[in-house]
A and B are shown apart, each in its own frame.
Chain A
Amino acid sequence: MNIDYHALLPEFILSGTILLVLIVDVFLSARRKWLAMPLALVGVIATLVATLTLIGSTPRVAFGGVFVLDNFALLFQVFFLIVAIVVLAISLRYFREGGFYQGEYYFLLLTSFLGCLLMPASRDLLMLFISLELVSAPGFLMSAFRKNDLRSNEAGLKFFLIGVLSTAVMLYGMSVIYGLTGTTRLEGIAAKLAGISGGQETMALAAILFVVVGFAFKVSAVPFQFWAPDTYEGSPVPVAAFLAVASSAAGFAGLLQLMFVAFIHQYEFWVPIFALLSVATMFVGNLIALKQTQVVRLLAYSGIAQAGYILLPFALVTADPANNHTAFSSAVTYILIYGVMTIGAYAVAVAVSRTSPRLLIADFAGLARRSAFLAVAMTLFWISLAGVPPTGGFWAKILIFRAAVDRGGSLGVWLAVLMLVNSVISVFYYFAVPRQMIFKPAADESPLRTSWLVTAVVGVAALAILAIFILPNPFARLADLSTLIPG
C-alpha cells in the first residue's frame, strides 16, 4: 500500500513529541519537570507548521479512504493545534505552582490532541471511534489531576462512568450499522442506507440513535450533560478549558461527518430529534446557568447552552444540498468562534485562580481595578458569548439565524425564535461576571499579576474577537471552503 507520508506528517510529529515528553520527563529532576511544557510547545508548533504546508494540496487520501485530509479536516486541525498552543500556555504556571505531575499531564494532553487531529479526517466508523476514545480517555485522567481535592476525584469518576456508558451504547450502534451495510466507510454507509427499507430500516434508525448518543455525551447535549458542570468544576482549570473547547469541538467534528455524510438520507428521522436536542440543550443550559455562583460551572452551563446553538443547524437539514451547505457552514463557523471566546474566558479564569482558587463569581469583584486589561478582555469574551456587538459572537449567531430562516417552513422560524429567546435569557448571566468585575469593589485591591503567556493568550483572543467582528468575511469563508458537503 502506498502511504501518503506528507498527509500524515502532523500526526507523526505529534506522536513523536508525545513519546519524547514521556521519556524526557523520567530524566528531569523534580524542579525541572516544567521543562516538559516548552518541549511539548515546540512539538505542537512543529506540528502546526507541518499542517500548514498541506494547505492547497488537499484532498489527500490515505489508507484507502479511511483517513481523508480535505479542507474540512485541515480547518479543524489548524484550529485544534492553535487551541493546543493556548492550553499549553495557560497550563505552565498553573501546574508548576500546583505541584502536579507535570510530565504526565503534558503527555496526556498531547495524546488527547492527537485524537482531536485524527477526528475530522476520519471517514470510517472505526477510525471515528478510535479518535473519540483517544480524545476522551486521557481526559478522564486529566480531570482527576487535582488528586487531593474530592471534587476533582468526583470529576474524573463521573466523566469516566458516563463516558464509558455512552461509548458502549455508541459502539453497539456502530456494530449494528456495520451489520446492516457491510461497511464501516462513511460514504459507503450512506450509499447503502439510501436504499434500505422495512425492518432493516427500523434497525438502522435505532442504530443511528445509539451513535448519536455517544456524541451527544461528548458535546454535553441534554440529557447527557450531567457530567459537564461537575467535571469542569473539579478539573484543573486548563483541563476544563480543553474539555470545553477542544474536546467538545472534536465531538462536533465527528457528529458533523456522521450526520451530514453517513446518515444524510435518514434526515427525516433525525431532524426532529436534533430539533428537540437543540432546544432542550439551550433551555436547560441557559436556565440553570442563571443560578450559578462559580465561574467554571457558569462556563460549563454556558457551554451546554452554546452546544444547543451548535446543534440547531443539524435540525435544519433538508433534501436540498445548498441549504445543507449553509447549515453546515454556520455550525462550523460557530464552533470556531465559540472556541476563541471560550478559551479566552478560561485563560482569564486561570489568571484569577492564582489568588482565588475557588473561582467564585464574587471573587471577580473589582477586577477592573486590579487588572484593567483582564477585566476589559473578560468583558469582551462574555459579551461575545452573549452574541452582542461589537464582537465575533454576534456573527456566529447571525449565521445560524440566517441558516434557520433560510431553511423556510415553520421549523426553521420556530427554532430561530427559540434561539433568540435564549440569547436574551443568556445576557442576564453573561453579565454577572462583568457586573462583579466593574461595578463592585474588590476585597483586596492589590494588582493581579499574570504570567506573560496568559496575558498574551488573553490579548490575542480579545483582538481576534474584535477582528472577527469588523471583518467577518474571511472567517465565514473558512467554513465555506469545506469540501465535505458540496455547496
Chain B
Amino acid sequence: MTWQNSAITITTFLPILGAVVILFMPKEKDKAVRGLAIVFTGAALVFAVAMALGFEHGKDGLQYVLDVKWIPVIGARYHVGIDGISLPLYVLTFLLSFLCAIYSWRYVPEAGRTKAFLALMLLLETGMAGTFIAFDLILFFVFWELVLVPMYFLIGIWGSTNREYASIKFFLYTLFGSVFMLLGFLAMYFSGPTVDGVHTFDMQVLTAFGAAGGFSHTFQLVVFGAVALGFAVKVPMWPFHTWLPDAHTEAPTIGSVLLAGVMLKMGTYGFIRIALPMLPEGARTYAPWIGLLAAIGIIYASLACLAQKDLKRLIAFSSVGHMGFVMLGIATLTTIGIQAAVFGMVAHGIITGMLFFCVGSIYDRYHTREIAEIGGGLMAELPKMGGIFAFVAIASLGLPGLAGFWGEVMALLSSFSPAPGLNVALFRGFMIAGGVGTVLTAGYFLWMIQRVDMGAMPERWQAKSFRDIIAVEWVSWVPLLAFIVILGLFPAIIFNLTQTGAQALSALFGG
C-alpha cells in the first residue's frame, strides 16, 4: 500500500472512523465530541488537500487509483480514482464538512444529542465524498444511497417545525429517482462488455464501450431516460424540484449547507460522469429537453424567489435557479459548457453554503426567518453580519470578479453555440431565457438585501441587542469568503483542472 493507491480510501473513510469513535464517547463529554468531529473532518481535509497538491495537472486519466475485487459474483469492483472533474468537488466536500464541524462547536440545533448529530454528519461526509471518486457503478450507487439515511435523520430530528414531512418527502423523492437509475445501471451492465467472461460495472470500461458506440440507439434512449431521472431529482431540475424547498427550509443549518453545497452536485456530477459519456447518443437526443427544463427552471426559480416570504426558502429556490445554469451548461455538450458546469457547481457550493450559514446565524439571533418580521436594519445594527450577508448575496447574483460570475456567464456563452447537431436557434432561445433569469436573480437578491439589510431595525429587535459575528462564525466563514474572491479573480484554478476531462467529453459530441 502506497500513498498513491491508498490516499483516496484513507481520506474517504476517515469520517466514518470518526463517527464510530464519537459513538463510543460518553454522553457527558459534549465538548470532546465536538472537538473530535473537528479533528476528524480536519484530518480528512488535510489529506484531501495533500492529494490536490500532489495531483498532476493535465495528465490524462485517473490518479490515486485503487482497483481491487469486491464482489466477484456480480463483477463489482472497489475501483476508486480521481481526475480533474472529481477533484474540485471532492475537496469542496471536505472543506464544507470541516467548516460545518467548526460551526457545530458553537451551534448544535435545539434537539441536542450532539453525539448522534455529529456522527451522522460524518457518515454523510463519507457518502458524499465517495460518490465523486467511485468508478464502479455499484460502488457509486452505494455511496449515492448512503447519503440518504443520515440526511433523513438530520432533517427529521434536528429540523424545524415541519421536519417530518420534509424528511420523508426528501427520502421518497430521491429514492424514487435512484431506483430507476439503478435499473439503468443494470441494463448497461448486461448490455455492456464482459471482462474475463463476467459483465462489469466498471465505469471506465463502460465509458470506453459507450463512447465507441457500443450501446444501440433505442437502448440509449431508454436507459438515458432512466438514469437521467435519478440524477434530475437530485439536482433538482424543474419539475422534480419540489422536495428541495421543503428539505432546505426544515433542515438544520449545517444540513442545508451540505445539502446545497455538496449533495445537489451529486446529480450534476452524475450527468457529467455517467449519463453523457456512457450514453452519448441518448445525451444528444435529450440535450434540447434538458436545456428546456433548465431554462424553465431558471425563470421559474427566480419568479418563485420574488414571491418568498421566508428567507431560507428564498435561498432554497435560488438553488434551483443556479443549478439550472449548471444544467444548461451541461446540455450544450461543449467543452465550455461542461467547464462552466463544474465551475458553477463549485461556486454554488461555496456561495450558497455560505448563504445558508448566514441565514442560520440570523435565525439564531432573531428566531424567525420571515423577511417581513426581520424587517431590515441588519446592516445598521449588526454591521459585520449585514455586510457579509450582502456580500454573499451579491456574489450569488453573479457579480463579475466574484465566484458566481464565471459559471453563469460561461453557461450562457456556451449555449450561444452548442455542440454540432443541436438546434442553434433553440439554444440561443435558452440563452436569452437564462439572461432574463440573471436579471431576475439580481432583482430578487437586491430586493432581499433591501428588505433585510437596509433601513432601520424595528423597535422590538432594538431592545434585544444581538451579538454581531462571533469567533466560531469568523473561523468557519472566512475560508468561504476568501474562496468567493479567489475563484472570482483566478477562475483558472478550476478551469485548468477540468480542461482535459471536459475536452475529452465534448469530443464525443464533436465539440
Residues in chain A within 8 A of chain B (CB atoms)? 383, 388-390, 394, 398-399, 401-402, 405-406, 408, 413, 416-417, 420-421, 423-424, 427-428, 431, 435, 438-439, 472-473, 476-477, 480
A476 in contact with B73 (CB, 8 Å): yes
Instruction: Give bound CA distance, A477 to B73, whole Å.
Output: 7
B164 in contact with A424 (CB, 8 Å): no
Q: Chain B residues with Cβ under 8 A from A476's Cβ? A: 71, 73-74
Q: Chain A residues with Cβ under 8 A from B163's Cβ? A: 439
Q: Chain B residues with Cβ under 8 A from A394's Cβ? A: 142, 145
B187 in contact with A428 (CB, 8 Å): no
Chain B contact residues, majority secondary structure: helix
The answer to whether A472 and B179 touch (CB under 8 A), given A402-B186, A439-B156, A439-B157, is: no
Q: Chain A residues with Cβ under 8 A from B157's Cβ? A: 438-439
Chain A contact residues, majority secondary structure: helix
Instruction: Give bound CA distance, A384 to B189, whole Å.
Output: 24
B186 in contact with A424 (CB, 8 Å): no
B side interface size, CB within 8 A: 30
B447 at the interface (CB under 8 A from A): no
Q: Chain A residues with Cβ under 8 A from B74's Cβ? A: 398-399, 402, 476
A438 in contact with B153 (CB, 8 Å): yes
Q: Chain B residues with Cβ under 8 A from A417's Cβ? A: 183
B176 at the interface (CB under 8 A from A): yes
Interface string of B177-208 (1 = CB under 8 A from A): 00110110011011000000000000000000
Interface string of B140-180 (1 = CB under 8 A from A): 00100110110011001100000110001001100110011
Partner pick for B168 among A389, A405, A421, A431, CB 8 A cutoff: A431
B421 at the interface (CB under 8 A from A): no
Instruction: Give bound CA distance, A435 to B166, whole Å.
Output: 13
- Within the complex, what minimum Cβ distance (angstroms) separates B45 from chain A? 23
A420 in contact with B73 (CB, 8 Å): no
Q: Chain B residues with Cβ under 8 A from A439's Cβ? A: 156-157, 163-164
- Within the complex, what minimum Cβ distance (angstroms) separates B97 from chain A? 18
Q: Chain A residues with Cβ under 8 A from B176's Cβ? A: 424
Residues in chain B within 8 A of chain A (CB atoms)? 70-74, 138, 142, 145-146, 148-149, 152-153, 156-157, 163-164, 168, 171-172, 175-176, 179-180, 182-183, 186-187, 189-190
Partner pick for A388 among B70, B149, B168, B183, CB 8 A cutoff: B149
B171 in contact with A431 (CB, 8 Å): yes
Q: Chain A residues with Cβ under 8 A from B182's Cβ? A: 398, 401, 420
Q: Chain B residues with Cβ under 8 A from A424's Cβ? A: 172, 175-176, 179
Instruction: Give bound CA distance, A427 to B145, whole Å.
Output: 13
- Within the complex, what minimum Cβ distance (angstroms) separates A395 from chain B? 8
Of the A-B pairs whose beta carbons lie under 8 Å apart in the complex, a sample of 23, sorted by A's number, is: A389-B146, A390-B149, A398-B74, A402-B74, A402-B186, A405-B183, A405-B186, A405-B189, A416-B183, A417-B183, A420-B182, A424-B176, A427-B172, A428-B168, A431-B168, A431-B171, A439-B156, A439-B157, A472-B71, A473-B71, A473-B72, A476-B71, A480-B73
- Within the complex, what minimum Cβ distance (angstroms) separates A345 from chain B? 17
B146 in contact with A420 (CB, 8 Å): no
Instruction: Give bound CA distance, A172 to B45, whole Å.
Output: 70
The answer to whether A406 and B190 touch (CB under 8 A), given A435-B156, A435-B164, is: yes
- Within the complex, what minimum Cβ distance (angstroms) separates A96 from chain B? 33
Q: Chain A residues with Cβ under 8 A from B148's Cβ? A: 388
B142 in contact with A389 (CB, 8 Å): yes
- Within the complex, what minimum Cβ distance (angstroms) separates A328 from chain B? 14
Known: A394-B142, A401-B182, A473-B72; 13 extra A-B contacts, CB below 8 A, are A383-B149, A388-B148, A389-B142, A390-B149, A402-B186, A405-B186, A405-B189, A421-B179, A423-B175, A427-B172, A435-B164, A435-B168, A476-B73
